Chains A and B, each alone.
Chain A
Amino acid sequence: MASFSVYRDSCPLVKNILLLDSEGKRVAVKYYSDEWATNAAKLAYEKSVFTKTQKTNARTEAEITMFDSNIVIYKFVQDLHFFVTGGDDENELILDAVLQGFYDAVTLLLRNKVDKSEALENLDLILLCLDEIVDRGMILETDGNVIASKVATSSVDPAAPLSEQTISQALALAREHLTRSLLS
């Protein structure tokens, strides 16, 4: 990934996508730039991103900040913190589209139950999702529906048998089905 800076001024690039929990711990992260070479550097970056954004309210709209010559766009849902980092000359709205795509896809894949335990339970889906959004810095897709469908077609058994779901999950799903059928 040493060549990250070569196509600097032409292509929009993503430096990393982070999914942290409400204490700043990793749920799933993916770095596309060699700016953070070691795990220690990555952890330090995550820590500073987390502490700097912790106090803000990024629950309704995605928020944005800048530090270390990087732009960070973030959004919090329940106990999950979503982050996308890009270079400081990047178009903020492109990074925002990546974050939104990631968030939408995760929401779909976790069937609207977006929280840490659900994310860990379906970590394979989250990792595949990251893999489908960005390939070594290049944006592959920003539409959450498309990303989720790419991931979902490959899940081991698309409709997980009801017996394996917890009661609350099953209820949530049922409620969702009900609302959908009522609305349609």
Chain B
Amino acid sequence: MAQPLIKKDDDRDDESEYSPFLGIEKGAVLQEARVFNDPQLDPRRCSQVITKLLYLLNQGESFTKVEATEVFFSVTKLFQSKDNGLRRMVYLMIKELSPSADEVIIVTSSLMKDMNSKTDMYRANAIRVLCRITDGTLLTQIERYLKQAIVDKNPVVASAALVSGIHLLQTNPEIVKRWSNEVQEAVQSRAALVQFHALALLHQIRQNDRLAVSKLVSNLTRGTVRSPLAQCLLIRFISQVIQESGATQTGDRPFYDYLEACLRHKAEMVIFEAARAITELSGVTSRELTPAITVLQLFLSSSKPVLRFAAVRTLNKVAMMHPMAVTNCNIDMESLISDQNRSIATLAITTLLKTGNESSVDRLMKQITNFMSDIADEFKIVVVEAIRSLCLKFPLKFRSLMNFLSNILREEGGFDYKKAIVDSIVILIRDIPDAKESGLLHLCEFIEDCEFTYLSTQILHFLGVEGPKTSDPSKYIRYIYNRVILENATVRASAVSTLAKFGAMVDSLKPRIFILLRRCLFDSDDEVRDRATLYLNTLGGDGAVVETDEDSKEFLFGSLDVPLSNLETSLKNYEPSEEPFDINSVPKEVKSQPLAEKKATNKKHPGLDTPLAAPSTGVDAYEKLLSSISEFSSFGKLFKSSAPFELTEPETEYAVNVVKHVYDGHIVFQYNCTNTIPEQLLEDVTVMVDASEAEEFSEIASKPLRSLPYDTPGQTFVAFQKPEGVPAVGKFSNNLRFIVKEVDPSTGEVVEEDGMEEDYQLEDVDVVAADYMLRVGVSNFRNAWESIGADFEKVDEYGLGPRESLTEAVNAVISLLGMQPCEGTEVVPNNSRSHTCLLSGVFIGGLKVLVRLQFGLDSSREVAMKLAVRSEDEAVSDTIHEIVASG
């Protein structure tokens, strides 16, 4: 392959290599730069010196501040020369030096003169240089010239101004936006590239105005687009417009027809851009996809590697979403496996892996093995991921796929690559029971010689969970204990934990584990010794072989059920005292972003007399606030606070939202009120709640707000008693009652002492089942699902009726239950007909609940759902079904 290259090298070795820059040295060149100051300039000499300076910069040499300033000043002298070539080098040099603001002033007048020169080349370059080095203030001075330049008849000048405009838009948008008219005119230019640059700038000026963009685009689709580049740009704008005008748009797509027409353009660049745009449209139908796939298929057999690469890369992406659409290209794809270009071969293979069937797996694997060593890590990761999904698709083939993974695990590779392999093996072990034992052994062998601490600890942890459940756990001990002997402290510590897990789960191994753990007591690292001591005590390592009790098992295997960010906040708030830190006091709720709350806090006025601090987000803050109110202090621990719910329309006189605070036997409504009328002061603000549609609730306390001045949020509370631990639901209607007093808005003084009593109707509040559910995630759903057991599992099926999409159905059920989606299962892939969603949460009373939802969509868009609940209490499992049945 590299024949000609080697030959050339041999030739060259004979004649000694000559470079004009041989032995070049910065100091000497800087000395030479003094010729710039000669009264009689020698343009040729000066050009050469500038080239040398540029060469130095290009090689990575840098000038000190002083040197740069000196060079800059002497270069500016060269504007005296009339030599074209020298001037070009001067422009280049100034751009490279990127002078500071005070230096820029020196060249401004020279550059402005060039900007108005008769020589087109001067004008174009002076514009680019000046726009590059200028700041906002100078820009207003030259704006007039730039506007002229945009519509200059010389295309080079116009392009220079337009491209400079694109860059300036980032720093001085308000100025560039004033050039719209000129840019608009330039879009009509006959010069191909001017149109391209003008189109790019115009779109950027208008990109926030959807309507304008849409209009611009549809005008252009009817006009002439002169350069392939501009056409590509137009295609990108069109697909943005299509995307923004609604993803689920059905019926005719006016812009789609244009994209399809572009597939017949004469430039390959445009054909490809259009094909790619079509494949990336969301909700594209197979009929729409076909013409794009057809042109890409033609590209696959092109003689140009770039074209083959572009086509196969795009088809690879299409295969993820629409594998069936790509199967037509399989024959062309197979011939690409032996492509000289390894990148193309990889993409071809992974595409085939996605579209292939069970019988072709073995043949493909053979072909892949041959070329794995030739390709870059990025591509290897792609292959590994494709193989993982293939294995999940065809579990019967796991043996050959697992072998392949373990082979490549042994070869050289970077962290990301190794991580991808390990992750794949872990997933296969989890999902294919037969693959467990062999997979674990492959991982054990890998950590024997693994240079990545992170991967070693991950694998050790995984071994601790899965290893004890295998038929012969003892065979893993050797691998684990080897880590204790050979590795760094981090890995040693996690190996100790893993050993302890084997000890806890496998009674027969206990004595041996104790011996090993005791050896770890003499480790040089604190953490390792601490862990060993801790586990020896937990497992009763004082010699007696006892059955490990549930508590220690929970301690060793239980997952941390509090979100780490909450734990962090709690630890930061904890003040060292006699009372130890209690992990149960950490709120378990995963924080969601309350949007309405932000609005209320933003308007806070400092200095005014507020009875309570404005509400801040987060359970912590609520808890603090509520426990400071004596009436509520006896309610016990706050279980959950809801997100604020608006009880008034926006822009009304009084803005009120409510936060529901749920306790075991009580519920507290916190009404956040804001008075938006400057002429009024509200006093004795209460909310009269009618609980007639909420039979199980009875009002026990109400805390009025003494005064509510203009624009300062305040809170009033109403508390209800409800049956302990029962998820009672109901509807509450609310009336805001207050005494209104007139105020002089300029002074803030009350004009009228006697106020009027007034009522103000608010929206209703519902207490729903989801209010009794905390959104608590689990890190590993499958483990949690198995450990909670099937004792109280309840399964039932529901018909959800016709729905827009699966996504909509999934979201509806999630918000109905108020649970935390796990492992990203709330996202439904486009166009899928079925979906499984995993939810977890904690129900009132602190009971863990896990839900597995399986959705299916039939041809008439009817959604059916199978709901499986596992929890720690039968009643809770039933309640979940009741919630869904009634929702």
Verify B43–A127 contact, CB threshold 8 A. no
B273 beta carbon closer than 8 Å to chain A: yes
Verify B121–A39 contact, CB threshold 8 A. no
Tally of A-B Cβ pairs under 8 angstroms:
176
Give every chain B residue within 8 A of A113 (Cβ-Cβ).
none
B591 beta carbon closer than 8 Å to chain A: no
Given contacts A11-B200, A138-B166, contact A92 B304 (CB under 8 A): no
How many angstroms from the CA of A43 to the CA of B160 in the assembled complex? 30
How many angstroms from the CA of A9 to the CA of B4 in the assembled complex? 40
Given contacts A91-B273, A124-B51, contact A78 B341 (CB under 8 A): no
B340 beta carbon closer than 8 Å to chain A: yes
* One of A67, A123, A135, A136 near B54 (C-beta < 8 A): A123
Given contacts A22-B5, A138-B163, contact A65 B343 (CB under 8 A): yes
Given contacts A128-B92, A141-B193, contact A91 B376 (CB under 8 A): no
Instruction: Tell me the smallest distance from the CB of A103 to a CB of chain B, in Å.
Output: 13
Give every chain A residue within 8 A of B269 (Cβ-Cβ).
91, 93-94, 97
A106 beta carbon closer than 8 Å to chain B: no
How many angstroms from the CA of A123 to the CA of B305 in the assembled complex? 30
A24 beta carbon closer than 8 Å to chain B: no
* One of A69, A96, A150, A156 near B43 (C-beta < 8 A): A156
* One of A12, A141, A153, A156 near B83 (C-beta < 8 A): A156
* One of A39, A91, A141 near B272 (C-beta < 8 A): A91
The contact size tier of chain A is 35 or more
Give every chain B residue within 8 A of A157 (Cβ-Cβ).
44, 85
How many angstroms from the CA of A152 to the CA of B59 in the assembled complex? 24
Verify B159–A61 contact, CB threshold 8 A. no
B810 beta carbon closer than 8 Å to chain A: no
* CB-based nearest A residue for B277: A91
Verify A29–B58 contact, CB threshold 8 A. yes
Give every chain A residue within 8 A of B304 (Cβ-Cβ).
61-62, 96
B306 beta carbon closer than 8 Å to chain A: yes
Scoring A residues 121 to 132 as 1 if CB is less than 8 Å from chain B, else 0, what string do you get?
101100110010
How many angstroms from the CA of A54 to the CA of B171 in the assembled complex? 40
How many angstroms from the CA of A131 to the CA of B87 in the assembled complex? 14
Scoring B residues 301 to 314 as 1 if CB is less than 8 Å from chain A, else 0, what string do you get?
00111110110010
Instruction: Tell me the smallest distance from the CB of A62 to a CB of chain B, in Å.
Output: 6
Verify B166–A93 contact, CB threshold 8 A. no
Verify B159–A64 contact, CB threshold 8 A. no
How many angstroms from the CA of A56 to the CA of B83 in the assembled complex? 43
How many angstroms from the CA of A94 to the CA of B228 in the assembled complex? 9
CB within 8 Å of B: which of A54-80?
Answer: 54-57, 59, 61-69, 73, 76, 78-79
Give every chain A residue within 8 A of B341 (Cβ-Cβ).
56, 63-65
How many angstroms from the CA of A91 to the CA of B228 in the assembled complex? 12
Instruction: Tell me the smallest distance from the CB of A63 to a CB of chain B, in Å.
Output: 5
How many angstroms from the CA of A65 to the CA of B200 in the assembled complex? 28
How many angstroms from the CA of A67 to the CA of B128 in the assembled complex? 32
Verify B200–A55 contact, CB threshold 8 A. no
Residue among A6, A43, A131 with most chain B CB within 10 A: A131
How many angstroms from the CA of A99 to the CA of B202 in the assembled complex? 27
Q: Which of B13-21, B508-516, B783-791 contacts A (4 or more CB under 8 A)?
A: B13-21
Instruction: Tell me the smallest distance from the CB of B425 to a CB of chain A, in Å.
Output: 25
Verify A42–B60 contact, CB threshold 8 A. yes
Instruction: Tell me the smallest distance from the CB of B882 to a CB of chain A, in Å.
Output: 47
How many angstroms from the CA of A141 to the CA of B47 in the assembled complex? 25
Verify A154–B88 contact, CB threshold 8 A. yes
Instruction: Tell me the smallest distance from the CB of B33 to a CB of chain A, in Å.
Output: 15
Give every chain B residue within 8 A of A142 (Cβ-Cβ).
229
Verify B203–A93 contact, CB threshold 8 A. no
How many angstroms from the CA of A43 to the CA of B236 in the assembled complex? 34
Verify B1–A127 contact, CB threshold 8 A. no
How many angstroms from the CA of A54 to the CA of B236 in the assembled complex? 34
Give every chain A residue within 8 A of B19 (Cβ-Cβ).
117, 120
How many angstroms from the CA of A145 to the CA of B616 in the assembled complex? 65
Verify B86–A7 contact, CB threshold 8 A. no
Scoring B residues 615 to 628 as 1 if CB is less than 8 Å from chain A, else 0, what string do you get?
00000000000000
Give every chain A residue within 8 A of B44 (Cβ-Cβ).
156-157
* One of A120, A135, A141, A154 near B121 (C-beta < 8 A): A154
A169 beta carbon closer than 8 Å to chain B: no
B197 beta carbon closer than 8 Å to chain A: yes
Verify A131–B92 contact, CB threshold 8 A. yes
B268 beta carbon closer than 8 Å to chain A: yes
Given contacts A128-B92, A141-B193, contact A135 B128 (CB under 8 A): yes
B204 beta carbon closer than 8 Å to chain A: yes
Give every chain B residue within 8 A of A43 (Cβ-Cβ).
60
Instruction: Tell me the smallest distance from the CB of A71 to a CB of chain B, in Å.
Output: 8
B12 beta carbon closer than 8 Å to chain A: yes
* One of A52, A59, A69, A73 near B306 (C-beta < 8 A): A73
How many angstroms from the CA of A141 to the CA of B313 in the assembled complex? 26
Verify A10–B200 contact, CB threshold 8 A. yes
* One of A79, A91, A139 near B8 (C-beta < 8 A): A79
A140 beta carbon closer than 8 Å to chain B: yes
Verify A68–B340 contact, CB threshold 8 A. no
B522 beta carbon closer than 8 Å to chain A: no
B765 beta carbon closer than 8 Å to chain A: no
A184 beta carbon closer than 8 Å to chain B: no
Give every chain B residue within 8 A of A121 (Cβ-Cβ).
20
A47 beta carbon closer than 8 Å to chain B: no
B55 beta carbon closer than 8 Å to chain A: yes
Give every chain B residue within 8 A of A12 (Cβ-Cβ).
229, 232-233
Verify A120–B47 contact, CB threshold 8 A. no
Instruction: Tell me the smallest distance from the CB of A132 to a CB of chain B, in Å.
Output: 9
How many angstroms from the CA of A44 to the CA of B412 in the assembled complex? 20
Give every chain B residue within 8 A of A42 (Cβ-Cβ).
60
Give every chain A residue within 8 A of B18 (Cβ-Cβ).
117
* CB-based nearest A residue for B6: A22
* One of A7, A54, A96, A123 near B166 (C-beta < 8 A): A7
A163 beta carbon closer than 8 Å to chain B: no
How many angstroms from the CA of A39 to the CA of B207 in the assembled complex? 35
How many angstroms from the CA of A7 to the CA of B44 in the assembled complex? 40
How many angstroms from the CA of A97 to the CA of B230 in the assembled complex? 14
Verify A127–B51 contact, CB threshold 8 A. yes
Give every chain B residue within 8 A of A114 (Cβ-Cβ).
none
B869 beta carbon closer than 8 Å to chain A: no
How many angstroms from the CA of A45 to the CA of B300 in the assembled complex? 30
Given contacts A55-B2, A135-B163, contact A93 B229 (CB under 8 A): no
Give every chain A residue within 8 A of B603 (Cβ-Cβ).
none
* One of B306, B344, B377 near A62 (C-beta < 8 A): B306
CB within 8 Å of A: which of B1-58?
Answer: 1-2, 4-5, 8-9, 12, 17-21, 43-44, 47, 50-51, 54-55, 58
Verify A6–B92 contact, CB threshold 8 A. no
Verify A59–B4 contact, CB threshold 8 A. yes
B557 beta carbon closer than 8 Å to chain A: no
Give every chain A residue within 8 A of B159 (Cβ-Cβ).
140-141
A28 beta carbon closer than 8 Å to chain B: yes
Residue among A69, A73, A96 with most chain B CB within 10 A: A96
Verify A136–B167 contact, CB threshold 8 A. yes
B449 beta carbon closer than 8 Å to chain A: no
How many angstroms from the CA of A43 to the CA of B59 in the assembled complex? 9
If A54-B2, A79-B5 are given as contacts, then 12 extra A-B residue pairs at C-beta distance below 8 Å, sorted by A number, are: A3-B167, A3-B170, A9-B240, A26-B59, A26-B60, A39-B62, A67-B377, A68-B378, A93-B269, A94-B269, A128-B92, A138-B197
Q: Which 6 A-B pairs have the closest CB atoms?
A: A156-B85, A39-B60, A92-B310, A3-B170, A93-B269, A154-B88
**Chain A to chain B contacts (Cβ below 8 Å), 10 pairs:** A57-B2, A61-B306, A65-B376, A93-B273, A117-B19, A120-B20, A127-B92, A135-B160, A135-B167, A138-B166
- B-side residues, CB < 8 A to A, are 1-2, 4-5, 8-9, 12, 17-21, 43-44, 47, 50-51, 54-55, 58-60, 62, 83-89, 92, 95, 121, 128, 132, 156, 159-160, 163-164, 166-167, 170-171, 193, 196-197, 200, 203-204, 207, 228-229, 232-233, 236-237, 240, 268-269, 272-273, 276, 303-307, 309-310, 313, 340-344, 376-379
